[in-house]
Each structure stands twice: as C-alpha cells, then as structure tokens.
Structure 1
Amino acid sequence: MEENLIAPCGMNCSLCIAYQMMKDDLKKQGFHRKYCPGCIPRGENCTHMGDQCELLKNGRVRFCYECRDFPCKRLKGLDKRYRTKYHMSMIENLKDIQKNGMAAFLKSEKERWACPRCGNPICCHNGLCLRCDLEILQKNKRYRWDDEER
C-alpha cells in the first residue's frame, strides 16, 4: 500500500473496486467499470469531499483532520455509509494516521485487508479479492459482503 493512495478523506484508494479493477485491467475479463488511479494520483485531491470543501479543492490541507471542522457533517455522512456498507471508517483511518503516523497506518491496513490466500488487498466495496474471488463477482456483479464480519 502506498501513501499517495490514501485520500484526504481517509479513503484507502488501494481498496476501492475502481482502483483494483484498473490495476488488474479487468475490462479484459468483461467488467465494464470506470477505472480510477486514486484521488491524489489523478490530481483530484478528494473525490468524496473536494467538491464541497474549499480547503481540499485548493490543496490547502492534505488530510481532513487538519481542518478545524474535522469531522465535518459531509465526512460524518460518508463515514457512516462506509462503516455500514463497506466495513471501513474514514474517520477512524484519519485518526489513526494523525495519532500513529502514515507508516504505521499503511502497515496495519496491509495486514487488515490482506487476502488470506494470496496476500493481495481485498476490495472494501465487496469484501472480495479480485484475484482469488473473481468468479464470485463474475456471477454476481452487484456482490456485497457476505454475512461474516471483518
């Protein structure tokens, strides 16, 4: 996992389905999904927050926790959706980075999200390893997490 794949809102872009599909070029496997190299690599600052936040839009902060309004209403809503649907908290990610530093955060993310079979990151949007579990996604393109908690 790379530092430039951690978005200002706390999203770990390396866990995103649009990034993982791009990384493995899964359009060749019949998936028709927009690819994304990550917020920072594509120069967007933050896909989720940049359109609503002047500080992010103009690149005046690297992470939302640098703002006096952290966590703002929009980030709280985004965080609630990701905690509920995708087993990930952007606010907790940001607090972890702020408290322990980026290197420790990246190390813990790599361990937490590693596929038990191959070690590649699983996708936060569906809980699947796109290398080991691609058949599941091919059968059900709207697949979401199974009942097991991470």
Structure 2
Amino acid sequence: MIMPEVDNLAPCGIYCPGCIVYKASDNEKLAEKLAENMGVDSDDVHCDGCRAEEGKIDFLSMESKCETYKCVEEKGLEFCSKCEDFPCSRLYTFRNSPQPHNSKMMNLTLMDKKGLDWLMDNIEELTELYYFGDKPHGGDKLEL
C-alpha cells in the first residue's frame, strides 16, 4: 500500500501539486485564467491529483482512465519505474499538456536512485527547480 505522504505523486512520477490544473483547484484567479485559455467554465477547472481522481481527470475531457494509470494498476505497481518495461512509450510527453511531462522521468529516476523518502523530502524544491530553475545551459548541473 502506498504511503499517505506520497498520495500526490502519480504512478507516472508527476508531482500533482506542481501542476497548474491542480493548483487552479484552490486558486479562483488561476482557475478563471486557465478556463479562459481552454474555453471552459472556471467551475470545471478542478483536479485533486491522479491517485485521488483514480487516473481520470474530468477537466481534461478524459473519457476513461489514463492508459499509464491503468497499466500500473493492472500490474499491481505503485510507480512505473517498478515495471520491468520501464521506461516505455506511455511516459512520452504528450501534446497540449498543461505541464512539461518530462518531470515524471526525472522524478521516477531520482526515486529509484535515491529512494522514495529522499524524493518526497525534496519534491517541493525539485519541482521549483524544474519549473523555475535558472540554468544557463540545458546540460548544466543543478545542485540540491
């Protein structure tokens, strides 16, 4: 069973509180801006996170559970990185995403390398670095 403190880490490695849709759930101004940009009603801009929503985010017009979520669920895994097929094409970035999805590969890799406890202890700072870190070049090292 997954530890309660990691409920906001999706099976694919996305840290839900770092996502603009998740943030908009508790931020009316952000919800209105996001709704305007996506052509939906601001009352519909809501997500409690992948695990809480059981892999189906209604706001994103998903007709069924996320294929990645279903895969992990069917295999009885907590995270994609625990799969013998990791990494697979289900983890590719998809178009029109409200966030850069390559954060999931970084999080899954760090979790496997340094441990789940280390990742959760550092996830807020990692998310801040990921979205707002200032690196002069793409290959420059970020220290944590």
Using the size of structure 1 for normalisation, the TM-score is 0.58
- Note the C-alpha offset of 1:29: 5.4
Change (3 A) 1:101 1:123: closer
Q: Which amino acid aligns with 1:103?
A: D
Misfit runs of 4+, over 6 Å: 147-150
Unaligned runs of 5+ in 1: 115-121, 128-146
1:13 maps to which residue?
Answer: 16
Distance 2:24 2:105 in 1: 25
- Aligned length in residues: 116
Distance 1:15 1:8 in 2: 15
RMSD over aligned Cα atoms: 3.8
Judging by fraction of residues, say which structure has more helix. 2
Q: Which amino acid aligns with 1:63?
A: F
CA contact (8 A) 1:45 1:56 kept: no
Change (3 A) 1:86 1:62: same
Q: Decide which of 37, 49, 54 is 1:38's aligned counterpart.
A: 49
Aligned pairs for 1:77-92 within 5 A: 77-78=92-93, 86=100, 88-92=102-106
Distance 2:30 2:105 in 1: 32
Identity of aligned residues (%): 24
1:131 maps to which residue?
Answer: none
Q: Which amino acid aligns with 2:93?
A: L
Unaligned runs of 5+ in 2: 36-41
- Note the C-alpha offset of 1:51: 2.0
CA contact (8 A) 2:11 2:78 kept: yes
1:111 aligns with 2:114: no
